[in-house]
């Protein structure tokens, strides 16, 4: 389905949030995306008709729930080019990365004591590794960004060495929108025997992902950023690595045998899914994937590229605006900016009076704010395929009014 402004306006009617909030201009999709009725209905229908626990009962209702849950795992694995047993359901990207920060140490050679990150990282892909380094006497190193807001690959090459154990990096910056060259980074890391962990939270709704082609070891994302429910996330891991890792949580569902002194675990993914999981959330996530596939990821990407270019062009009309974005060819549909002399929170509050929703603040990326010299934070307009040219016009016209007001 090739998208244009009129088709997007029609698609917007799939999203009940806009019916119940007339005039809403929603530009905070990097924080959480809105949900189409198809996803809402999938969760509701499961709850009303199939709700039961999985992996326990042998009665029909439990078997239907299990079929839906494992069916969701299959949908997700196909979506990112993985095997079904390589998909672990978690709460979100944050939990996925924490899981790895507590379990990877057991498979890291003793001579490798460095963890490499980038200046672009969200706190959720920084703090877990920071704490892992503290627990295990490791060093944290950081790859710099260049003045054009892209990653400095030469710096990455210098800092990747025989001591590097893990390279954890974002596919897309949640502040800058920058798309990092995934395959090239993974290839560099592999040449040094480094484990790669990709934070794909900001990429999953916007870009096609095939983990086998990328060649990464682990990749994490959240459902709520890709039209899905809250409280459901995914961790992909290469099967041979998952089998080597010890569990993160312990309890029902992941046990093979138990006696008073010892226990054994099921194979992956079950051994990482202790306790009752968010079954309805997994069903909803599968529905969101089906919805996006029906439109087409390439069609989504093409439309978002159009509205990003339009946004960057129009935002430059705002007097004095500072834009933090590498340009449409290197970015998803996300733009951060500041209006010098006006605090980002004030800008966001004034836009809210016009029913325009943006994010303002540090974006959970305080070190990056120091790098770009915006310690007070930035404003961020993050777009989805259901945004229109009129949404951009409303934002820019309102920013001009705000600038005039603060003269």
User: What string of H, E and C letters represents the secondary structure of 301-346?
Assistant: HHHHHHHHHHHHHHHCCCCCCEEECCCHHHECCEEEEEECCECHHH
Catalytic site positions: 364
Per DSSP, helices labelled H in 2-91 are 5-11, 16-20, 37-49, 60-80
Side by side, the strands of the sheet bearing 322-324 are 322-324, 334-338, 378-382, 359-361
- Nearest partner of 324 among 70, 120, 35, judged by Cα: 120
Give how far the C-alpha of residue 271 lies from the chain's centroid of Cα atoms, to the nearest Å. 24
Smallest CA-to-CA distance from 7 within 207, 290, 359, 299 is with: 299
> What residues pair up with 336 in beta bridges, in sequence order?
324, 380
Kindly report the backbone phi and psi dihedral angles of residue 211, in degrees, each rounded to the nearest multiple of 5, phi listed first. Answer: -65, -30
Of 368, 404, 360, 402, residue with least CA distance to 27: 360
DSSP E strand stretches across 176-317: 195-199, 218-222, 233-237, 255-258, 263-265
> Phi first, then psi: what are they for 245, rounded to 5°?
-80, 145
Separation between Cα atoms, residue 224 and residue 301, nearest integer Å:
18
């Amino acid at each position: 389905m090739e998208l244009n402004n009129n088709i997007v306006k029609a698609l917007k009617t799939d999203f009940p949030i806009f019916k119940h909030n007339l005039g809403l201009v929603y530009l905070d999709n990097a924080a959480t995306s809105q949900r189409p009725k198809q996803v809402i209905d999938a969760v509701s229908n499961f709850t009303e008709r199939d709700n039961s626990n999985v992996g326990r009962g042998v009665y029909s209702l439990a078997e239907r729930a299990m079929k839906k849950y494992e069916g969701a795992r299959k949908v997700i694995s196909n979506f990112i080019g993985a095997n079904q047993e390589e998909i672990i359901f978690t709460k979100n990207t944050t939990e996925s990365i924490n899981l790895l920060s507590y379990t990877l140490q057991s498979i890291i050679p003793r001579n490798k004591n460095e963890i490499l990150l980038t200046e672009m990282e969200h706190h959720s892909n920084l703090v877990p590794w920071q704490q892992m380094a503290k627990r295990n006497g490791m060093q944290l190193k950081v790859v710099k960004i260049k003045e054009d807001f892209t990653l400095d690959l030469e710096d990455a090459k210098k800092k990747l060495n025989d001591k590097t154990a893990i390279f954890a990096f974002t596919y897309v910056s949640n502040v800058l929108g920058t798309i990092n060259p995934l395959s090239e980074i993974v290839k560099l890391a592999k040449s040094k025997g480094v484990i790669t962990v990709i934070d794909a939270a900001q990429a999953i709704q916007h870009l096609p992902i095939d983990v086998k082609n990328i060649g990464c070891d682990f990749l994490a994302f959240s459902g709520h950023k890709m039209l899905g429910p809250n409280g459901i996330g995914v961790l992909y891991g290469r099967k041979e690595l998952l089998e080597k890792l010890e569990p993160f949580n312990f309890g029902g569902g992941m046990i093979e045998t138990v006696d008073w002194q010892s226990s054994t675990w099921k194979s992956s993914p079950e051994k990482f899914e202790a306790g009752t999981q968010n079954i309805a959330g997994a069903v909803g996530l599968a529905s969101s994937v089906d919805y996006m596939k029906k439109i087409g990821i390439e069609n989504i990407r093409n439309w978002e590229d159009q509205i990003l270019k339009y946004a960057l062009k129009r935002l430059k009309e705002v007097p004095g605006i500072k834009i933090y974005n590498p340009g449409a060819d290197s970015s998803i549909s996300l733009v951060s900016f500041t209006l010098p002399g006006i605090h980002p929170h004030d800008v966001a509050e004034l836009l809210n009076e016009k029913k325009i929703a943006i994010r303002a603040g540090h974006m959970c990326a305080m070190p990056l704010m120091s790098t770009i010299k915006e310690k007070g934070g930035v404003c961020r307009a993050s777009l989805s395929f259901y945004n229109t040219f009129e949404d951009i016009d409303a934002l820019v016209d309102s920013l001009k009014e705000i600038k005039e007001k603060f003269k």
